[in-house]
Amino acid sequence: MTASSRLTALTRIGFATRGLLYIVIAMLIMRTGRAEDPSGAIEYLGRGGGQLLLAVIALGLTAYGIWRLADAALDLERHGSDRKGAAERVGAGVSGAIHLFLAWQAVALMRGTASAGDGTQESARTALQLPGGWALVLFGAFVLAGLGVVQLAKAAKGSFLRYLDPAVARRSWVQWSGRAGYAARGLVFLISGYLLARAGLEEQVDEAGGMARVLAWLTNPYDLIVGAGLLAFGLFSLVEARHRQLHDVPVDGAIRRATRWR
């Protein structure tokens, strides 16, 4: 097995890991009312599954993050060079960076050095301490809102289905789990952007927050509805782990070139 095919196989573990995290987040909010984000879900799984599970999570998220960054740099998924394609590649890069950060958090948990806190809120706090920091916070809110709109557009158009095996993509439950999942993620991004904008305008960092803050901010039954959507996204991610058509990252060529230069 080549290095490229090994990375692709590990990327499938990354899709499965992402699905598991979203399922945990959804089950916690739907069954106990406990609001968590992917970082909190990793910590929850680590307490229950131990070091081995954390190691698998870290490995899968690392491969997934690398694959996303490679997609952003090399256009593995054939997004194209128009404005829409460029936006999708930027989104892939952001996703890659986020999942590499989550992998780092899993490793930190294994080492017992993880730090608690909401990443969005901490970033807002840092920005507001800078001159004109409120403008940076508002820009971050604009980006989050844009990501939310993109997710909602995917839910409406079903464009995510083109990456799946065609036979699987035609199944109605796969289509609707993906639509519900992307719609829920879109709402989370939009609300997170709204909370961040309010934090910037009022210079109240406690108003900001990511997924956990959004789920805690929503009242019943809206938190349960969004939770059900996140559960659907977790299930769709498991489908992607098995049936997504992945293009190999050209790792082998890079290794050969690096070896030749030595």
Asked if pLDDT for residue 255 goes beyond 60, the answer is no
| d(C-alpha 22, C-alpha 233), whole Å | 7
Cβ atoms of 201 and 139 closer than 8 Å: no
| d(C-alpha 81, C-alpha 75), whole Å | 9
Sign of torsion over alpha carbons 117, 120, 123, 127: negative
| d(C-alpha 147, C-alpha 144), whole Å | 5
Ordered by start, the domain boundaries in the chain are 3-248
| d(C-alpha 126, C-alpha 114), whole Å | 19
pLDDT value for 155:
96
For residues 195-212, average pLDDT: 79
pLDDT value for 115:
61
Asked if pLDDT for residue 90 goes beyond 70, the answer is yes
pLDDT value for 258:
41
Q: Which residue has the tokens 């989104």?
A: 91
| d(C-alpha 120, C-alpha 207), whole Å | 10
Quick one: how far is CA 63 from the chain centroid?
13
Q: Which amino acid does the sequence have at 224?
A: L
pLDDT value for 254:
45
Asked if pLDDT for residue 253 goes beyond 50, the answer is yes
pLDDT value for 173:
96
pLDDT value for 6:
81
Whole-model pTM: value is 0.88
